[in-house]
Amino acid sequence: MPAYQYGDFQNEIYSAGINGIVPKYPFDYVSLERAGSEVLPWWVLSYVAGGAGDEQTQRANVAAFRKYGIVPRMLNGAYERDLSISLFGIDLPTPLFMCPIGVIGLCALDFHGDVQIAKAAALTGVPMVASTLMMDPMEEVASHFGDTPGFFQLYTPRDRDLAASFVARAERSGFKAIVITLDTWTTGWRPRDLNTGNLPELRGYCLENYFTDDIFLRRLDRSPKEDLNAARLEWLKIWGNSLQWEDLDWLRSLTKLPLLLKGICHPDDVRRARDHGIDGIYCSNHGGRQANGGLPALDVLPEVVEAAGDMPVLFDSGIRSGSDAAKAIAMGATAVGIGRPYAYALAVGGTDGVVHYLRSALAELDLLMAIDGFPTLRDLAAAEVRAV
Ligand SMILES: Cc1cc2nc3c(=O)[nH]c(=O)nc-3n(C[C@H](O)[C@H](O)[C@H](O)COP(=O)(O)O)c2cc1C
Ligand SMILES: O=C(O)C(=O)c1ccccc1
């Protein structure tokens, strides 16, 4: 018997269809986004859907995937596929991961989306990169990962002791790597949210990691429960640290876990990262939420990959489907981040909706590898990609 292939999901769906069982959730991104938009509260939707400026970069991220095509190869035994990768010595069954999304907690109807995503990670083997901004503390979220490794995304606070505490807590909770986000020490110019004065964190949402940390709490006279206003103002004082290269040496000294830098788009920055003992690069423009007018992240990926050499390169910004993931891998990404799509999937169906979305993306990727003749991700990575 051949091993289970993700593409068998397709057969399950057709077989169910014969028996009159109609799928609960959509299979294409446009329908998923529409369904998610109908159920999210307006202010969460505005925050998730929006980006910087007139959202030109956000749209360009998605459009970039239409500019490239993979050249298929035939007759080379792609009857069975292997989608596994190894990252920092950790074996993962697939090349996908879930990007850090600070308000993911709010995208679930019960406002405990971080836990629901952790459960989806456990069920699929697709790791969650958990944001610093959570509706539940990281210890609780990590307790639902099952056998799937989790990564912790650090928004480095200005208070160094608090940063050290977050890293230590992440290590104790069993997270397997730390992702330091560099492009969001201040919020981008986001007209959709500016029009309604909408910033969830400032209202005191998603700050549970801070509100459960002794180092943060000692800055307050009264607990966040007693005085939420004072707590969120204190958060605003310490939250965004505009790091410099030298600060990486301090961050490096905090942990032996693999460290990744998120937001890297220039090959010189890749080389400097290596000089500072960084283990992995995360190429991203934050889904066009931070700076408008920049290049699509996919367009800079090949240069970043070349400069990275043997360092793994994680990628996000514009991935909507399994075939998008295939292109990013063919252009050099080691692992590929799903962002906005899983937020909508969570809104539509909770953990179940996210598992459905991830299985669909993996099925599409797997079938594409079957049809295009790439039995392994190594073969796909070596595929010829041409500009359309
Ligand atoms: C609502 C929302 C919140 C986000 N919060 C974070 C965050 O807390 N930390 C972070 O590093 N990136 C955050 N990101 C950026 C994502 O990690 C990722 O870079 C981006 O979603 C990729 O773009 P895409 O979703 O359009 O594919 C957020 C993105 C969205 C949509
Ligand atoms: O919304 C975001 O993308 C994000 O990462 C963020 C986090 C905290 C404050 C502002 C923006």
Q: For the residues 40-49, what does the mean pLDDT come to?
A: 98
Q: Is the pLDDT of residue 331 over 50?
A: yes
Q: Is the pLDDT of residue 97 over 50?
A: yes
CB 7 within 8 Å of CB 363: yes
Q: Is the pLDDT of residue 2 over 60?
A: no
CA 337 to ligand 2 centroid distance, Å: 17
CA 184 to ligand 1 centroid distance, Å: 10
Structural domain containing residue 31: 7-387
Pocket of ligand 1, candidates 61, 99, 235: which has the most ligand atoms within 8 Å of its Cβ, to mutate? 99
CA 102 to ligand 2 centroid distance, Å: 6
Kindly list the strands in the beta sheet with 129-130, ordered across the sheet, starting from the edge strand earlier in the chain.
Answer: 96-98, 335-338, 313-315, 280-283, 259-262, 177-181, 151-154, 129-130
Q: Is residue 247 part of a domain?
A: yes
Q: How far apart are CA 296 and CA 265, in angstroms?
A: 10
CA 184 to ligand 2 centroid distance, Å: 6
> Which pLDDT does position 1 carry in this prediction?
43
Q: How many domains in the chain?
A: 1
Q: For the residues 298-308, what does the mean pLDDT come to?
A: 98
> Which pLDDT does position 5 carry in this prediction?
87
> Which pLDDT does position 92 carry in this prediction?
98
Least confident of 3-17, 205-219, 347-361: 3-17
Q: Which are the contacts of 208, defined by CB distance < 8 A and separation ≥ 6?
A: 134, 135, 136, 137
Percent above pLDDT 90 for the chain: 97
Q: For the residues 169-181, what does the mean pLDDT come to?
A: 98
> Which pLDDT does position 202 carry in this prediction?
85
Q: Is residue 234 part of a domain?
A: yes
Q: Is the pLDDT of residue 121 over 50?
A: yes
Q: Is residue 1 part of a domain?
A: no
Q: Is residue 156 part of a domain?
A: yes
Q: Atom 9 in ligand 1: which residue has the minimum CA distance?
A: 100
| 3-state secondary structure labels for all residues of the chain | CCCCCCCHHHHHHHHHHHCCCCCCCCCCHHHHHHHHHHHCCHHHHHHHHCCCCCCHHHHHHHHHHHHEEECCCCCCCCCCCECCEEECCEEECCCEEECCCCCHHHHCCCCCHHHHHHHHHHHHCCCEEECCCECCCHHHHHCCCCCCCCEEEECCCCCHHHHHHHHHHHHHHCCCEEEEECCCCCCCCCHHHHCCCCCHHHHCCCEHHHHCCHHHHCCCCCCCCCCHHHHHHHHHHHCCCCCCCCHHHHHHHHCCCCEEEECCCCHHHHHHHHHCCCCEEEECCHHHCCCCCCCCHHHHHHHHHHHHCCCCEEECCCCCCHHHHHHHHHCCCCEEEECHHHHHHHHHHHHHHHHHHHHHHHHHHHHHHHHHCCCEHHHHHCCCEEEC
Question: For helices 29-39 and 340-372, what crossing angle results, to 10°?
Answer: 170
Pocket of ligand 2, candidates 156, 184, 235, 317: which has the most ligand atoms within 8 Å of its Cβ, to mutate? 184
Q: Would you place residue 143 in the very low, low, confident or very high pLDDT band (cuts 50, 70, 90)? A: very high
Q: Tell me if the pTM is above 0.90.
A: yes
Q: Is residue 165 part of a domain?
A: yes
Q: Is residue 80 part of a domain?
A: yes
CB 57 within 8 Å of CB 291: yes
The pocket around ligand 1, CB under 6 angstroms, is made up of: 47-48, 61, 99-103, 131, 133, 153, 181, 262, 284, 286-287, 289, 316-319, 339-340
CATH assignment of the domain containing 379: 3.20.20.70
Q: Does ipTM surpass 0.85 in this model?
A: yes
Write down the mean pLDDT value for the chain.
Answer: 97
Q: Is residue 354 part of a domain?
A: yes
> Which pLDDT does position 3 carry in this prediction?
60
Quick one: which ligand is closest to 179's CA? 1
pLDDT tens digits, one per residue of 211-255: 999 999 999 999 999 999 999 999 999 999 999 999 999 999 999
356 is catalytic: no
Q: Would you place residue 11 in the very low, low, confident or very high pLDDT band (cuts 50, 70, 90)? A: very high
Q: Is residue 2 part of a domain?
A: no
Q: Of 112, 144, 266, 286, which is the active-site residue?
A: 286
Atom of ligand 1 nearest to the CA of 340: 25
Q: How far apart are CA 258 and CA 211, in angstroms?
A: 26
